[in-house]
Homo-oligomer: A and B are copies of this chain.
């Protein structure tokens, strides 16, 4: 009998189970019915010491302890391995744990006479389709057709490795790596740590769920339409999508290699803010452009503001009205910024045609109308998931482009980028003080119920423009503060779809995050603005 796609998947799942079975000591018994909110599970299953190591310090604090050798790399690694196993049991975020490899690496680092590297001893989680260190590492990128394919380590991971990190867990991505959720035929559906009925976001939702559980405190995601920022926002963690070509992003196991009209970038996802800049500084210090000449040759120089920030607030994108808790977050943060002496202005998207931006980027995601990707699914009879259909087949602008049509679309993209740059530059017309950053939603609301993530506008806009964006947690949904606006009349079909999705009870206690966006290649400024804005919120 011919092998079915399920036959191919079975050994991958067994391999995952086998990797988890190595975790020592084994986890205690989980509750029969898992709670809606998984965030307290680790306390029930881990030791106080493990809890202390995995959630009581920031990345920099942990690194300081590791460097001073007041804690061993092995002890820290074991704690995160066990906590990752809890996260997997709770929200299904992993493709495997690297028990043997991680402990071997930890022992090696402990054996060094002196700690070495900016990330000495830090456990880092990685997305499955990024090939990594290890002779037997395979990457399938959630394609059944690619199950079992060996894949080389990517340049970024070589750099992190050389900086002394420990790779210990690999995380799931959705089918085609092009959902804002995380669900695949191989690994199943990943859930939100705060609420099992909601998505952790995607495509780096394995990472966000794992870090949301503090089964990791630093990981790596990729973003071409929101895949770092959306999951970071939905899980209440930090995520940074740099401008493309700052961070080495080549070498992943992925599709449509050679397509360049819209590029993805790798970037950090972390439990705390300062870890983001540590990550990019560590990577840039390795001069990655020496081996990947497509990268921008530009060392990272932290930005310092010489005047109070001018922050533009995007209250909505002109297409879909954000849900009430998102609007409340914008109000709270902009009020705090104003109180801290910043200037707050409006970012008026109605003149900026974000709808058009979506039409352009959707078309350029799939200039072959998805033929390559859909062909790969079909080749092994892998079922096409609902959100795959949505992003390929249900977008009016997606069609098979001729060469000349590709050029036309690319020229439209360039014209739109020029248009937007002019609008930004014009903010300095009155007094020479340009808007520094845009404060905006990373999504129309908190994490959506499963299979409902059908509006990408709040993140993909900045991919089309190739603007850097960072996401940070602000608040959680509060039914008292965030009632549904019953008087609201949706302005279009997408607005109606998102509006009807909202009810405060459904989202209760879900994280609400905001996004800070800067001009292309102003990555340093975006992270500096995050520091300033968090300071205005009273965060150190």
Contact = CB atoms under 8 A, between A and B. Distances in A.
A260 B258 contact: no
Number of copies: 2
Interface string A171-199: 00000000000000000000000000000
Interface stretch (A286-294, A327-335, A506-514): A286-294
Interface stretch (A38-46, A74-82, A488-496, A517-525): A517-525
Nearest to A420: B293
Contact of A293 (B291, B293, B407, B519): B519
A417 B289 CA distance: 11
A368 B403 CA distance: 7
Among A257, A403, A417, the most chain B Cβ lie within 10 Å of the Cβ of A403
A58 B257 CA distance: 49
Contact of A421 (B290, B367, B420, B465): B290
A258 B410 contact: yes
A259 interface: yes
Contacts of A259: 407, 410
Given A297-B520, A297-B521, A403-B400, A291 B422 contact: yes
A289 B290 CA distance: 24
A257 to B, nearest CB: 5
Contact of A258 (B409, B421, B520): B409
Nearest to A293: B421
Contacts of A385: none
A12 interface: no
A421 B291 contact: yes
Contacts of A521: 289, 296-298
Given A368-B404, A403-B368, A403-B400, A417 B293 contact: yes
A53 interface: no
A126 B520 CA distance: 30
Interface in A382-403: 400-401, 403
A524 to B, nearest CB: 10
A251 to B, nearest CB: 9
B411 A258 contact: yes
A417 B293 CA distance: 7
A246 to B, nearest CB: 11
Contacts of A294: 414, 417
A250 interface: yes
Contacts of A412: 258
A263 B511 CA distance: 44
A104 interface: no
A34 interface: no
A87 to B, nearest CB: 36
A409 to B, nearest CB: 7
Nearest to A292: B418
A156 B291 CA distance: 32
A258 B293 CA distance: 22
A256 interface: yes
A371 to B, nearest CB: 8
Contact of A425 (B290, B298, B519): B290
Among A258, A371, A372, A400, the most chain B Cβ lie within 10 Å of the Cβ of A258
A293 B404 contact: no
A408 interface: yes
A406 interface: yes
Contacts of A367: 403
Contacts of A289: 520-521
Contact of A291 (B260, B368, B401, B418): B418
A258 B414 contact: yes
A380 interface: no
A261 interface: yes
A418 B293 contact: yes
Nearest to A414: B294
Contacts of A466: 293
A237 to B, nearest CB: 28
A375 to B, nearest CB: 10
Contacts of A410: 258-260
B414 A250 contact: yes
A271 to B, nearest CB: 30
A260 B261 contact: yes
Interface string A251-270: 00000111111000000000
Given A292-B421, A297-B521, A403-B403, 4 more contacts: A289-B520, A289-B521, A296-B521, A298-B298
| 7 nearest CB pairs, A to B | A258-B407, A258-B411, A297-B521, A258-B410, A293-B421, A368-B403, A293-B520
Interface of A: 250, 256-261, 289-294, 296-298, 367-368, 371-372, 400-401, 403-404, 406-412, 414, 417-418, 420-422, 425, 465-466, 519-522
9 contacts: A256-B407, A258-B406, A258-B410, A291-B422, A293-B520, A294-B417, A368-B403, A368-B404, A401-B403
